Chains A and B, each alone.
Chain A
Amino acid sequence: MATHDVRITVNGAPQEGAVESRLLLVHWLRDVLRLTGTHIGCDTTHCGACTVLLDGEPVKSCTVLAVQADGREVQTVEGLEQNGTLHPLQEGFQQEHGLQCGFCTPGMLMTGRALLDRNADPSEADIRQAISGNLCRCTGYVSIVKSVEYAAAKLREGSAS
């Protein structure tokens, strides 16, 4: 069994360990680090429930090998909350009813985060385009779009003051 030593920064903290070549990033996060906020939905690169940020870009962690993330930075949904304060996106999903079952939510949040990092004032079309690789099967996208808009407004407010 081929293993590799990796060093990956996860939510700001360096993590080290040996991984099997075939270990998927999502399995490393969930099974090794016990960061189970990242969900496995379809497992076939369609649904986006497993979305994490790899060097700041949203990717499907079921379709990246853990070893490919060696030396890189990963952000998961667990890293959104800071010192007990929800990220404006999390607050937005709460206020605007951006979730029902919550299964797609970690992926939606991470994709939303990458969008807002790049574009502080996205249009509805920008948001819909950004989340077009994240499937929701119960809430519906209207509330999710509103949740992201809520977060964008709140973040702009914060940076203005």
Chain B
Amino acid sequence: MIPSAFDYHAPDTLDEAVALLERHGDEAKVLSGGQSLLPLLKLRLGDAGHLVDIGRIPGLTGITEADGYLRIGGATREADLERSDLIREKYPILLDTAAVIADPLVRNRATVGGNLAHGDPANDHPATMLALDAEVVARGPRGERTIPITRFFTGLFATALAPAEILTEIRIPVPPPRSGGAYVKLERKVGDYATAAAAVQVTLGGQGEIARIGIGLTNAGPTPIEATAAEGSLRGRQPDAAAIAEAARLAADATSPSADRRGSVEYKRDMARVLTGRAIHKAVQRAGGQ
């Protein structure tokens, strides 16, 4: 399949990229790893007169801790997350997530920023970033701004990014001691979107109670979902079986999945419940709790 004709730009700097996006307005799209955009263009489900490839701009990749944040460059590849010792040792939730995105070949091209900026509720990083309470850094014509992830996903394939803004970095607060996280996904096969998936990040208090918790859900509605009622039910409580079951039930209540070949609404909602329970359990274990 061949996409409709477009022009391709490979700017060397962010300023140049932003200027190209401004100049071409609605006609322009940012090309990062291209693993969602190019299939859309090939299938002609999407259209673009101009692609602005950010893949040759220096400084948009990297995984580092600085000033209390884990900073992931927007164009960092999923495969780089999988191979990072820092991620493996300190952010297992991100390793869980990267390892189940599409397949290993796609992950050699696909980028973390693209996974978020595409605004697809079936993508895996949005739920994880909700659980981690991340921020997204965007660069546009009026400079740089930071967008809390809770305000980033505004609708189906829609985000808070302005048309000429580029997602340059993801910032995740470095978790305090006794923190842990997990991403648990049910998929029919490697490369499939989630039937349902849950991301959970916890920090335990001195008595083993839940001091902080974030719960994000994948492919459970028109946008990625933060299960705030479920989070609230666990905060300050011991994560025993009854409390986890209650939170998992509340998380399922927050979903509004649609039926497709992956299952019925009822099935998906129940899988969101089961997976949330498992993810909480695993996150608590990783945080050093029971």
Contacts and interface: CB of A to CB of B under 8 A. Distances in A.
Interface of A: 1-2, 4, 20-22, 24, 27, 43-46, 48, 51, 54, 57-60, 62-65, 67-68, 70, 111, 129-130, 132-134
A132 B103 CA distance: 6
16 contacts: A1-B5, A2-B5, A21-B5, A21-B51, A24-B42, A43-B42, A44-B42, A44-B43, A45-B39, A45-B102, A58-B104, A63-B34, A63-B106, A70-B10, A132-B103, A133-B102
Contact of B106 (A43, A68, A133): A133
Contact of A60 (B3, B5, B7, B106): B106
Contacts, number: 85
Contacts of B288: none
Contacts of B106: 45, 60, 63, 133
A18 to B, nearest CB: 13
Interface of B: 1-8, 10, 34-35, 38-39, 41-43, 51, 53, 55, 79, 102-106, 108-109, 190-191
Contacts of A2: 5-8
Contact of A130 (B2, B8, B51, B104): B104
Given A2-B5, A130-B104, A133-B104, A68 B55 contact: yes
B33 to A, nearest CB: 9
A130 B104 CA distance: 6
A46 B191 contact: yes
A136 B79 CA distance: 23
Determine the main DSSP class of A at the interface with B: mixed
Contacts of B8: 2, 4, 21-22, 65, 67
Nearest first, the 5 A-B pairs at minimum CB distance are A133-B103, A21-B8, A133-B105, A2-B7, A132-B190
Contacts of A46: 191
